[in-house]
Amino acid sequence: MGKLYLVPVPVGNLGDMTFRGVEVLQEADTVVAEDTRSARRLLQHYKLSKKIISFHKDNEHRMVDTLLALLKRGETLALISEAGTPGISDPGFLLVRACVEKDITVETLPGATAFVPALVSSGLPCDRFFFEGFLPPKKGRNKRLTEIASLPHTLVIYESPHRLLRTLRDLADTLGAGRQAVVAKEITKIHESYFRGTLGELAEHFENLPGKPKGEYVLIIEGKTTK
């Protein structure tokens, strides 16, 4: 049997790649990548030449058996996301589950993920938190918002730039416009920044920005209090 490594890659700053992560990529027979273009850039940066297999949300179901066959043949595979840790709002779960069922060794390296620095820097409690990831864009969205509204823990949500304003408005409507929150932008990148205020204030801020929001966002929201 081969072995599957899950290798976190930087969410922005390439200096956040770990030495061990580079070593695993160097030793792997094949790199399994969510985005082959970003994978090539990463490998080129570290002067590595590897076979790359595409593995993303649109093909992961049909690719699992193909990857299992390589592992059963004795290959070492290194799974990487476009950014951050595989399996955290990115493909990875289906392959890991299949490996566990087939008694194939899985090893996950510690490393970069966007929500941890955003949460710790937010100024909101981070001893207990609830990671939601991306909210449903359509079906089930209102139900999900209602479910998380009552949670007492700090909430962590990922959002894309084109849905940011809508999500802030929806959160303000469902959780309450007075709920404290932080919007973290472009974690580890040159334009990393934090916007703090109530959900209502943040929705108004981004509504009045000239132009459309750009970049990737992490929303950190105060949990429901009993006061």
Domain ranges of the chain: 3-108, 115-221
Buried b (16+ CB within 10 A) or exposed e, 12-27: beeebbbeebbebbee
Residue 9: φ, ψ to 5°: -125, 160
Question: Angle formed by the axes of helices 164-175 and 199-207, to 10°?
Answer: 150
The whole-number average pLDDT for the span 148-169 is 96
State the residue for tokens 């416009």.
177
Average pLDDT over residues 47-54: 97
Asked if 9 and 112 count as a contact pair (C-beta separation under 8 A), the reply is: yes
Query: Does 45 have pLDDT greater than 90?
Result: yes
Whether 71 contacts 77, CB under 8 Å: yes
The structure tokens listed for 36 are: 């082959």
Contact assessment for residue 216 and residue 134, using Cβ atoms and an 8 Å cutoff:
no
pLDDT at residue 227, as a whole number: 61
The Cβ-side half-sphere exposure at 137, using a 13 Å CA radius, reads 6
Q: What is the pLDDT confidence band of residue 213, given thresholds at 50, 70 and 90?
A: confident
Q: Around Cβ 142, how many Cβ atoms within 10 Å?
A: 13
CATH superfamily of 3-108: Tetrapyrrole methylase, N-terminal domain (3.40.1010.10)
Tokens coding 132: 């939601």
How many whole angstroms separate alpha carbon 149 and alpha carbon 193? 26
The arithmetic mean of pLDDT across residues 114-137, rounded, is 96
- Is 193 a residue whose pLDDT tops 80? yes
In the structure encoding, which two tokens stand for residue 162, read together? 């084109």
Per CATH, which fold does 115-221 belong to? 3.30.950
Grade residue 211 by pLDDT with cuts at 50, 70 and 90.
confident
- What percentage of the chain reaches a pLDDT higher than 90? 95
203, two tokens: 């929705």
Task: Report the mean per-residue pLDDT for the chain.
Answer: 96
Q: Is the pTM of this model over 0.75?
A: yes
Q: Where are the alpha helices (H) located in 127-188, listed in sequence order?
A: 141-149, 164-175
